[in-house]
Structure 1
Amino acid sequence: MSETRTPVLFIHGLWLHATSWRPWMDVFSAQGYDPIAPGWPGESPMVAEARETPEAVAGVGIDAVVEHYAHTIRALEQPPILIGHSFGGLIAQKLLGMGYGRAAVAIDPAQIKGVKPLPLAQLRSGFPVLGNPANRKRAVSLTAAQFRFGFGNAISEKESNELYARWTIPSPGRPLFEAAFANFSSHSPAAIDTANATRGPLLLISGQKDHTVPDVVTRATFKLYGDSPAVTELKQFADRGHSLTIDSGWYEVADYTLGWLTRQGFGAGTGVGRAAL
């Protein structure tokens, strides 16, 4: 009988296309995992097509994205490891708390309900969307300068512009509004079951120069899990910004993630059936 390959579900955040995970997928596949990276609901499979059809994702919110990935997971033979960046990190946490994953890695995750710090850099990063209430129902694109501040501030301007040209797409504004006002909503879609004692291990990763999700936000998220006996760990990368999953230093983050998964007992050949969870 051939060995079961552990599935890994990669979830991107706002303004990056699903194919931006390709280098990670290649590395995880070479290590014996079975990686997949579906786009968000309505997202075209190619960057150019996604840029030409922003209306396809306009109005998509957190709940719709969660159900989209939950549907994908239900079709798998076994529950996957979840790896998400930015809003993908929030989605990964939510899916883990709902029992849809074996473990999760949330990289620079968007703020969840209960997180109180709101640094000025984060406000500036979100202003292209939050500055206009009508953007809640629209898809919004970033300019190269906005991407440079929000994603590429810890790398050279040349590299930031190259990443912008290669990976950026229009993204729905609704998730940003949902996260920004989460603490004022009793039924916010940005709420996570942080007290879940039976969930799998969770690793939170922070870039300490991140403007979009500053380190203080990720640390505040980590503290919210303090009432759960389930494994929750925080790894901080100094001198890294929000582009840490796609810039020239991405492998350092991917390699740490692989090592952490191994330490948690989720090596590539440790696949189990859903009933074993």
Structure 2
Amino acid sequence: MKILVCIKQVPQKDAPLKLNESGTWIREEVSYEVNEPDAYALEEALRQKEKHGGEVVVITAGPARAQQVLREALAKGADRAIHLEDDKFVQLDSTNTARAIAAAVAEENFDLIVTGLQSDDFGAAQTGVLLAEILGLPHATIIIGIEKTDSGLHLKRELEAGHYQFIDMQTPAVLTIQSGINKLRYASLIGIKQAKNKPLRKIAWADVEPKLSKNLQQIERLYVPVKQKKTEMVEGPPTEVARKITEYLKNTARVI
């Protein structure tokens, strides 16, 4: 199978949320890592390649520093990489990010495209399904099991309350992968050395800009919630206290 893996570079989980006066995240003073759900998508793609043969291609969009996640993927076993390289890609919403990726791979015919379920920084869980729509491909989300069959793929989806769904899907297709689908591997020393010689194609902003449009979604401001602590005493007979607490939980806190 020829598999495309979409991966994203995100701030580390313990990175501080520093904001400027305009409510914008100051990203220059934090460390970065590969988006965890995308790491599971990459691992699953590599396992499918080991079982059935083929090629694994990784793609990311972002500034020059984002090349780090591509090199890590190549060191783990991916065959080649595509980098949509420009600071402007960070400002795109999910729709335009999907459009940029679709434009970058327009000349390639992938049997399978996988992404992580969502990103660790914004968690929109939109890019994968939007990419499928733009490419006109069937898609399935929250995948925790993939089996290749003669007619396509047999998939296991995670639903709510411990339930699962099994579906059959023809390829080509787009899947969003749930974290925990497999056990992540480490890059070997020989893999790290080989990664330096694997192809990495760079695509400039101008190459995909004609396919983009005005962002349909925009974050106006980020802020850190103000910590508040308030204690309210409820007095009276037990039955009256119970009634007041129940009303508070139902009408004010809205937790019941």
TM-score (norm 2): 0.27
Larger radius of gyration: 2
